[in-house]
Amino acid sequence: MRKLLFAFLNISKFLRSIRLSLFGKTEDDIYNERIVSGKSWDEFCNQIKLAGTNLKAPGTPQDALSQAEGIRYLTRLTRVSLEAFVEYADPSFPIFKRMVHETVKMGADNPDNYYFNAQISGDFEYKISGKRNTAHYIGFFTQNGNYGTTGGLSPCGTLEGKDLILETDGSFEIILSKERKGKNWLKIEDETGMVMVRQTFLNRFKEIPAEITIENLNGKKSPDAITPKLIDEGLKMAAMLVAGAPILFTRWAKGFKKHPNTLPQFDPKVSNAAGGDANIIYYHSYWNLKEDEALIITVKPPACDSWNFQLNNYWMESLDYRYHTICISKGTAEYEADGSIKVIVAHKNPGLKNWLNTCDHLEGTMCWRWYRLEKEGTEIQPTCEVVKWDSLI
């Protein structure tokens, strides 16, 4: 179906080129006209303004804190989308950037992950070079589509750290191509638009992330000058991300409100379509606590590579993990004698282990990730209980 869609799009482009030729114009003429007339910029600004309507969608919290965070969310998305699709958008000269990090957040971004993205194209072949260092997990993924397109992200190629062939000094090279090449190979296709690198830490305070760079194997040493086409299409994709991400994730958050203060499993098909890792089982939900309440989550982790639990605001941005403990992982949790754990979500510190700070929020979303279970189909059901805060001390 995906190949059929791209074939249809290519046919549409061909037919459009015929129509343009009949009027004595080329695609470049259209891009030039849109840039010179200001239409590209006007449409971008209008789309950014329209994105603000997501903050008033039915079910979204209307308190001042949530709305202020919502506006900040839009400014963050605008900042990172312009970097991704305008500043670093040339697939002939890609650069790895952290699209999601401490001050740009979306989709329940994982504080225990480093995410790197680069814009690429099936028109070229690439080489990733790097040094492994000590991050617990690293995985390389090519995606068909892009964050700024309507078709979503679909998996293409995968190369995980366990399969990565390293040199004696810990360095490595990966070839990105349509046909298998080199010691380490990552598949791309005609419609591939992005390469993503995920690094997961058991303890992000102690582990060192990998050093990575990417280069086009056509030998270019510097990027070409920008073109009207790059700017016009980049602004369109940037605006689409700013408008589209809040629509998607506020819809998710609204759905999570149907089962507050519980942790059911999230549909893998939905998470994978949004760019989630197919090796992760996600438990997404909603938390809502009064000033005098706390949420106790109890679970005995199954055998797995790693796990992580975190608190987010309504917009599915992780709370500020630079200054507060808002997440817990396999490597940072304190366990009970039987191997179980008890996580305490509360507005203030009860003096107990595994306390997560709500950072002055009364509600938000939450996510538990289970990475690479040793036994597929293992049932996991965390027990959640809302209690009075006074009962904790």
Burial class of residue 192, CB neighbours in 10 A (0-12, 13-18, 19+): buried
Q: Reply yes or no on whether the pLDDT at 206 is more than 90.
A: yes
Chain position carrying tokens 């700013």? 242
Three-state secondary-structure class, residue 80? helix
Q: Reply yes or no on whether the pLDDT at 9 is more than 50.
A: no
User: How far is 77 from 64, CA to CA, in rounded Å?
Assistant: 20
For residue 228, the model assigns a pLDDT of 96
pLDDT digits (tens, 9 = 90+) for 107-127: 999 999 999 999 999 999 999
pLDDT band at 270 (very low <50, low <70, confident <90, very high): confident
Assess whether the region 91-222 and the region 258-391 belong to the same CATH fold: yes
pLDDT digits (tens, 9 = 90+) for 212-267: 999 999 877 888 899 999 999 999 999 999 999 999 999 999 999 999 999 999 98
User: How far is 216 from 195, CA to CA, in rounded Å?
Assistant: 13
Three-state secondary-structure class, residue 390? helix
Please give the CATH topology (third level) of the domain spanning 258-391: Jelly Rolls (2.60.120)
3-state helix, strand, coil in the chain (%, to 5): 30, 30, 40
pLDDT digits (tens, 9 = 90+) for 315-348: 999 999 999 999 999 999 999 999 999 999 999 9
For residue 21, the model assigns a pLDDT of 61
Contact (CB, 8 A) for 318 and 105? yes
Question: What are the residue boundaries of the structural domains of the chain, listed by start?
Answer: 38-89+224-247, 91-222, 258-391
pLDDT band at 2 (very low <50, low <70, confident <90, very high): very low
Give 301's contacts (C-beta < 8 A, 6+ positions apart). Answer: 307, 330, 339, 340, 341, 370
Pick from 232, 201, 176, 213: which is nearest to 27 by CA?
Answer: 232
pLDDT digits (tens, 9 = 90+) for 136-182: 999 999 998 765 554 556 789 999 999 999 999 999 999 999 999 99
For residue 3, the model assigns a pLDDT of 45
User: How far is 209 from 96, CA to CA, in rounded Å?
Assistant: 14
Q: Reply yes or no on whether the pLDDT at 12 is more than 70.
A: no
Give the pairing type, strands 293-299 and 383-388.
Answer: antiparallel
Instruction: Give CATH for domain 91-222.
Output: 2.60.120.1600
Mean pLDDT of the chain: 90
Contact (CB, 8 A) for 209 and 135? yes
User: How far is 255 from 173, CA to CA, in rounded Å?
Assistant: 42
pLDDT digits (tens, 9 = 90+) for 25-65: 788 899 999 999 999 999 999 999 999 999 999 999 999 99
User: How far is 55 from 76, CA to CA, in rounded Å?
Assistant: 14
Residues in the chain: 393
Residue 51 backbone dihedrals phi, psi, to 5 degrees: -60, -25
Q: Reply yes or no on whether the pLDDT at 104 is more than 90.
A: yes
Amino acid at 115: Y
Q: Reply yes or no on whether the pLDDT at 277 is more than 80.
A: no
